[in-house]
Amino acid sequence: MSTAATVSTLKGARLPKWSPYAIAAGSVALGVGISFAADLHSSIQWALIAGLLFVLGTYGIAARVEGRRQAKDRVATSLVWVAFLLAVVPLVSLVWSTVARGVKVLDFYFLTHSMGLVSDDEPGGGIYHAILGSLEQVALATLIAAPIGVLTAIYLVEYGRGRLAKAVTFFVDVMTGIPSIVAGLFILSIMLMFDMEPFGFAGSLALAILMMPVVVRSTEEMLKLVPNELREASLALGIPKWRTILKVVIPTSIGGITTGIMLAVARIAGETAPVLLLVWGNSLINANPFEGAQQSLPLYIYQQYANSAGAGAAYDRAWAASLTLIAFVMILNLVARGIARWKAPKTGR
Amino acid sequence: MAKRIDVSGLTAYYGSHKAIEDISMTVEPRSVTAFIGPSGCGKSTFLRTLNRMHEVTSGGRVEGKVLLDDEDLYGQGIDPVSVRREVGMVFQRPNPFPTMSIFDNVAAGLRLNGSYKKSELTDIVEKSLKGANLWNEVKDRLNKPGSGLSGGQQQRLCIARAIAVEPKVLLMDEPCSALDPISTLAIEDLIGELKERFTIVIVTHNMQQAARVSDRTAFFNLAAVGQPGKLIEIDETERIFSNPSVQATEDYISGRFG
């Protein structure tokens, strides 16, 4: 009896480890080849052909060598990879083109000076006034929306019963779907009623309307994640409900709540429509959000692009401001993650 | 300091569903009373009515009287928060507060109920942890998170947390069902010590445990699924396990049941 002759029923034929890479390389080569032959010039076309070839090729080869079940497994894996690349490529290209075009004029001078008397098609000027306006408007909006949103979520999760809670949930859902321009028009109609001039805080009010439902939703989900056992443990110690919420429920979920607020901030930081209606834009520095037109980053980007009639200098400034806005949102997200990690319940020994 | 509990005609509901019906019993101070019975017969529900935790569940409602040394817990103007300070509770799964250190967990009940001096707190925390036989294991890491302890240690931490507020009665809802035999033994020994100071009520599925730790045992049963649970009998533990007066009790204890 030789052991070598025994055929294992547990071992099947396997493709070598490098085979997915080989199939990928082959399908890219084939995709490019087909494109040249058919005289297709767009890189999207050859990429899609290559993707399709990769999935089909994986199935064909794996089915022949390994059998049907493994082939399906490999197709699922390759589909995930193709989908991943399809999702990542636009993102990377967006970041890349913003960085490449934005760094041209992005320097310390650009960040610390306003447009002043620089006209739209001249080089020079900066975005200090837009950064200042954005920060003030977003901060004020957060100051309004975050407490109301968090308290609403606490009501819904901890106290809400019956009709009022259902009505609140319904209106939060409705608010989630409000287009930003409608929120802007709503505040505008109030402004017109009182015959007011555009000012920064009006924009904050519209942004707060957009931010509130996002904060309510995310906070609600975070509070629901707090195990009921913890609430019961606290109540059973004779701790009143409000202190239980304040000292046990909120500390347990504070990381998630902060992350949710930060993401909502990131969302409203890029809103243009309400700001355009209510804040108007200003090429001078106006540090007072309660009086006079202000600037904001998204609005600045729009105005530089729209009003410049294709002038190179304004075009570069728009990209540089976009890069600043992306960096701003990115920093906020990183801060949110940092807080979430720092505040997360500790499990170490 | 331990207090006696007198329950008469107690019925508890979840919404329109009647979970337990017409229960009357007396729980003696400075003793251990065990509740046994099949799953779903309302032992835990009954236990939770004894410190008004039943009404925390949505739709929870109670009729009848629970007298804690002659004061009706369900009487007019009784604050459930004050009731829970007198009647503490330990749950089935250990549930230390994850954001708090071991020290803060034990001090939670006191700190969140009022202001204490640091030195007072330190004394009470040490006393409670010693009372829960946990002091020697955690005295060097009081500032570490409570969730880093083992399951049995966490459960003893929860007991320390519950006794730190000096309740008169301690309710335990299957405190050992998530623990290994060694931790279970530790908790059972602890129950034996705690009964010198507190009135203890324990729900358990483990009949040997009821026989080992309790002075009196109550047997609960339900006629059929969906029917409310009822108290079948309560008596000295020895009598329940040797010569119960109701046939159903004997069937359940000897395993001939259902």
pLDDT at B133: 87
For residue B121, give the amino acid letter: L
**Residues of chain B contacting A243 with CB distance shorter than 8 Å:** 112
Q: Is B236 helix (H, G, I), strand (E, B) or coil?
A: strand
pLDDT at A98 over 80: yes
- What is the C-alpha to C-alpha distance for residues B226 and A304, in angstroms, rounded to an integer? 71
A236, two tokens = 């059973």
Are B99 and A251 in contact (CB < 8 Å)?
Answer: yes
pLDDT at A10: 79
A159, two tokens = 């106290």
Are A346 and B82 in contact (CB < 8 Å)?
Answer: no
pLDDT at A32 over 60: yes
Q: Chain B residue closest to A345 (CA)? A: B99
B189, two tokens = 């020994």
| Cβ within 8 Å of B, A 121-160 | none
| Structural domains for chain A | 15-100 (no CATH), 112-343 (1.10.3720.10)
- B17-43 pLDDT, tens digit each: 999 999 999 999 999 999 999 988 889
Q: Which residues pair with B230 in a beta bridge?
A: B221
pLDDT at A5 over 60: no
pLDDT at B172 over 70: yes
Highest mean pLDDT among A65-69, A238-242, A332-336, A340-344 belongs to A238-242
pLDDT at A17: 86
B249, two tokens = 């009790």
Instruction: Answer yes or no: are the C-beta atoms of A229 and A318 closer than 8 Å.
Output: no
DSSP string covering A143-174: HHHHHHHHHHHHIIIII--HHHHHHHHHHHHH
| Alpha helix stretches (DSSP H) within A4-67 | 19-37, 43-65
Q: Can you tell me the mean pLDDT for A34-58?
A: 84
Average pLDDT, chain B: 90
- B226-255 pLDDT, tens digit each: 889 999 999 999 999 999 999 989 989 888
Residue at token pair 């990928």:
A24
| Torsions phi, psi for B36 (to 5 deg) | -120, 165
Are A229 and B95 in contact (CB < 8 Å)?
Answer: yes
Å between A346 CA and nearest CA of chain B: 6
pLDDT at A52 over 70: yes
**Residue of A234, A237, A243 best to disrupt the B interface, most CBs of B under 10 A:** A237
pLDDT at B226: 82
Position A40 confidence tier, pLDDT thresholds 50, 70, 90: confident
- What is the C-alpha to C-alpha distance for residues A114 and A295, in angstroms, rounded to an integer? 10
pLDDT at A12 over 80: no
CATH of residue B12: 3.40.50.300
Instruction: Answer yes or no: are the C-beta atoms of A235 and A249 closer than 8 Å.
Output: no
Residue pairs between chains A and B whose CB atoms are closer than 8 Å: 87
- What is the C-alpha to C-alpha distance for residues B17 and B40, in angstroms, rounded to an integer? 13
Q: Can you tell me the mean pLDDT for A182-201?
A: 93
| B147 domain residue, yes or no | no
Instruction: Answer yes or no: are the C-beta atoms of A141 and A314 closer than 8 Å.
Output: no
Instruction: Answer yes or no: are the C-beta atoms of A79 and A25 closer than 8 Å.
Output: no
Instruction: Answer yes or no: are the C-beta atoms of A205 and A275 closer than 8 Å.
Output: no
- C-alpha distances out from residue B254 to B106, B185, B213, B258, Å: 40, 23, 19, 11
Beta strands B17-27 and B216-222, pairing class:
unpaired
Of B229, B63, B90, nearest in space to B158 by CA: B90
Position A347 confidence tier, pLDDT thresholds 50, 70, 90: low
Q: Is A229 helix (H, G, I), strand (E, B) or coil?
A: helix
Among partner residues A234, A237, A252, which is closest to B98 by beta-carbon distance? A252
Are A238 and B84 in contact (CB < 8 Å)?
Answer: yes
pLDDT at A265 over 60: yes
Q: Specify the range with the lowest mean pLDDT, choosing from A138-147, A159-168, A304-313, B81-90.
A: A304-313
Q: Can you tell me the mean pLDDT for A124-142?
A: 93
pLDDT at A345 over 80: no
| B133 domain residue, yes or no | no
pLDDT at B52 over 90: yes
Q: Specify the range with the lowest mean pLDDT, choosing from A111-120, B29-38, B214-223.
A: A111-120
pLDDT at B258 over 80: no
Q: Can you tell me the mean pLDDT for A37-66?
A: 85
pLDDT at A219 over 70: yes
Position A218 confidence tier, pLDDT thresholds 50, 70, 90: very high
- B97-156 pLDDT, tens digit each: 988 999 999 999 888 777 778 888 999 999 999 988 899 999 999 999 888 899 889 999
pLDDT at A349: 42
Domain that holds residue B33: 5-94+169-253
| B216 domain residue, yes or no | yes
- What is the C-alpha to C-alpha distance for residues A34 and A46, in angstroms, rounded to an integer? 8
Q: Chain A residue closest to B93 (CA)? A: A229
Region of A336 on the Ramachandran plot (φ > 0 left; ψ -120 to 50 alpha; else beta): alpha
- B56-76 pLDDT, tens digit each: 888 899 999 999 998 999 999
Are B144 and A349 in contact (CB < 8 Å)?
Answer: yes
Beta strands B199-203 and B17-27, pairing class:
unpaired
pLDDT at A1: 46
Count: domains in chain B: 1
Are A237 and B158 in contact (CB < 8 Å)?
Answer: no
pLDDT at A121 over 80: no
| B146 domain residue, yes or no | no
- B191-217 pLDDT, tens digit each: 998 899 899 999 998 889 999 999 999
For residue B152, give the amino acid letter: G
For residue A307, give the amino acid letter: N
Question: pLDDT over 90 for what percent of chain A?
Answer: 52
Q: Chain A residue closest to B150 (CA)? A: A349
| B109 domain residue, yes or no | no
Among partner residues A232, A240, A347, which is closest to B53 by beta-carbon distance? A232
- What is the C-alpha to C-alpha distance for residues A306 and A319, in angstroms, rounded to an integer? 13
- A298-342 pLDDT, tens digit each: 999 998 888 777 678 888 899 999 999 999 989 988 888 888 788
Are A238 and B148 in contact (CB < 8 Å)?
Answer: no
- What is the C-alpha to C-alpha distance for residues A283 and A125, in angstroms, rounded to an integer? 9
ipTM: 0.90
**Residues of chain B contacting A229 with CB distance shorter than 8 Å:** 91, 93, 95
DSSP B118: H
Average pLDDT, chain A: 89
pLDDT at B233: 92
Q: Can you tell me the mean pLDDT for A123-141?
A: 92
